[in-house]
Amino acid sequence: MINLYTRQQRSVLQITILLILAFFLCFGLVAYFPAIIGSGIIYVIFVSGFNKMVHGKGYNRYMVTTLILIISFLIVILPFLVLSIMLADKVAYYTRHIDEFMPIIKKIEELTGLELSNGQLIRTLTEKGGDFFSQLFPSVFTGTVNLVASIGIMYFILFYMFINQETFLESLYKYLPFQDPTIDLLGAELRNVINTNVIGQSIISLIQGASMGLGFVIFHLEDALFWGVVSFFLSFIPVLGTPLVWVPAGVILLMQGETGKGLGILLFGAVLVVNIDNVLRFALAKKLGDIHPLLTIVGIVLGVPVFGIVGIFIGPLIIVYFMLLVQVFLKEYGSGTARRQEVEPISADLENLPEENPAEKTS
């Protein structure tokens, strides 16, 4: 049949149609993008164990995949989900009962001379706080349907990533516009970021959050569990972290005349809680890898407003990938000195990372 278009025109039209369809696909899936990223994060965490059991010991692929899905839900998703819901419920409670903070606000006014008890100001701050946490935990605030859908999509993708592992890995090398060494380096950086920001930092945050909650119990402060949960999430922020909890708590207690409790919680936070981070971070860096705190802070600042709480992990990865791909571009398409320079890892010395199971690359 006669075609009205030349070969070049057809190629342009086909690319245009593909871009339009890709736009609609991305637009429709944007709400579930954190779930898609989450499936990749969980895959990286468990792929080494999967390879050892399936490729090393010959266990049934479906059985191992099912076991991984169950374990990942129980030790990763469920605890994180419970903590998120607990925090979201408490934030919602305080936004409805802002009057409980009025005595503290009045005391701050007396000491500073600032007018903070203005009704409009308090309502504005309450709305801003609610908006911030709704962005931080979007699925929790927008309802059960979205939450279940996000988890379902994440595990649906994760299931096929393991079951069709060979096809999945071959597709990465086939369709990504990079040479094989670059893809290997991107994979190594991905493992390092996940080892550091997901596994390592989660361990540190869990211990710091529990310690902060224990401190509130020791000094007979209210809502120990709630502030322990808050400390868990804030611990992901380097340098600032838990001081955002125990410093204001100590200052408020001192302002209220509770000198013993105020000094006690300040010393508890400065001596114990902060040093937990210092000691554990140094120990875990040798086993799991490390990332410069500046990369983590910038990544969190950029990632959390866009991706919610998952941005804690995605943000630093985007920063690392951006810096790495700039090196790759200059190496492949630059001129002079830029082309002669080797592409170096961004986040850490990858030679010190746990070795990758050979099956991960061959399978």
Tens of pLDDT, residues 263-286: 999 999 888 888 887 777 666 665
Q: What is the pLDDT of residue 64?
A: 92
Mean pLDDT is highest, among 22-31, 64-73, 180-189, for 64-73
Q: Specify the pLDDT at position 65.
A: 93
The confidence score (pLDDT) of residue 69 equals 92
**What pLDDT is recorded for position 253?**
84
Q: What is the pLDDT of residue 130?
A: 58
Predicted pLDDT at 63? 93
pTM for this predicted structure = 0.69
Can you read off the two tokens belonging to residue 53?
């059991």
Q: Where are the domains of the chain?
A: 29-97+139-175, 177-356
- For residue 16, what pLDDT is reported? 93
**Stretch among 16-30, 95-109, 321-335 having the lowest mean pLDDT:** 95-109
* pLDDT (average), residues 202-223: 87
At residue 137, does pLDDT exceed 60? Answer: no
pLDDT value, residue 362: 39
Please tell me which residue, 64 or 292, carries the higher pLDDT value. 64
